[in-house]
Every structure is written in C-alpha cells, then in structure tokens.
Amino acid sequence: MTMVDQSEAERVGLRYLSSAYRVRRVVDEHMMASGLSLARAKVLQVLDQKGSLRQTSLAAELGMAARSVTQAVESLERDGLIERSSDPMDRRAKVVVLTMKGSAALATGMAAGEQILQRIFGALGQKQLDTLDTLLAAIDDAAAAT
C-alpha cells in the first residue's frame, strides 16, 4: 500500500464526513415528513427485530446511555408507538414493546428512508456502487482498528 499525502487524506476524510452528514440529514428529513425520524425509527427497528426488551437492554442494543433511551421511550410511548410495563421478574425494571401503531409507523418511515436512499445511490452506476461498497468497507475497517 502506498502512503497518501496527509493533507490529501484529511481533505478527503472531511469531504466524506460532510457527505455522510448531508445524506443522513436528507434521509432524516424525508423520514420525518412521513412521521418518523431516523433516530426514532432505530429504536422501533430494534424492538421490531428483538421483540420486547428491558429498557436497559434496549439502551445496550442502541449503544446509548440509559437516560437518553428513557427520554426516547417516553416520547414514543406518548405517541402510542410503544408500550412500557413492569418486568414480571423485577418490578423496578421496565419492559418495552412495539405497538401495532409503532409497527405501521416504522414501515412507513423505513419506506420513506429507502426511497430517498434509492434516489441518492441509484444515481450511481453498478460499478460505482461496487467501488463505493469496497471503499466503505475499507474505511470501516480502518476506523475499527483505530
């Protein structure tokens, strides 16, 4: 592997961060227009995949602090997208479950996100997508090794 000029690596790295931020913002805006932000969708997605979870387990799955998850869960519960109940094994713990309304909101939000991702990345040709996929894997590996 050849060494890359440090300033060039920084320039490209900053461009990547800027592009990733813009794509995330655009996806989030489109999802919010359908009624569900990207962050809220992630919580619902974990519950959809894992079933009912203790709030502490949900926080661990999301890689978030328990306090942050509590705020998100309270908001989602107010909107009827999830339900909380006491854990029968430990009354101090709360179990969180996706509601039918939450499942429907997740489907709608994810469809909006997928649609905008298709529009953004569908503008690339297959060879470009393959190259980008390879490059993203290398970036992810380098970040994980750091």
pTM above threshold 0.85: no
Q: What is the pLDDT of residues 89-101, one digit of tens each?
A: 887 888 999 999 9
Task: Enumerate long-range contacts of 94-97, CB under 8 Å, 24 or more apart.
Answer: 94/54, 94/55, 95/52, 95/53, 95/54, 95/55, 96/47, 96/52, 96/53, 96/54, 96/55, 96/58, 97/47, 97/51, 97/52
**How does DSSP assign 56-85, residue by residue?**
HHHHHHHT--HHHHHHHHHHHHHTTSEEEE
Amino acid found at 129: L
Domain regions of the chain by residue span: 39-124
Q: Token pair of 125, please? A: 């040709």
pLDDT digits (tens, 9 = 90+) for 24-65: 999 999 999 998 999 999 999 999 999 999 999 999 999 998
Which CATH number is 39-124 given?
1.10.10.10
Residue 37 contacts residue 70 (beta carbons within 8 Å) = no
Burial 77-90 (b: 16+ CB within 10 A, else e): beeebbebeeeeee
Categorize the per-residue pLDDT at 5 as very low, low, confident or very high, splitting at 50, 70 and 90: confident
Q: Is 136 helix (H, G, I), strand (E, B) or coil?
A: helix
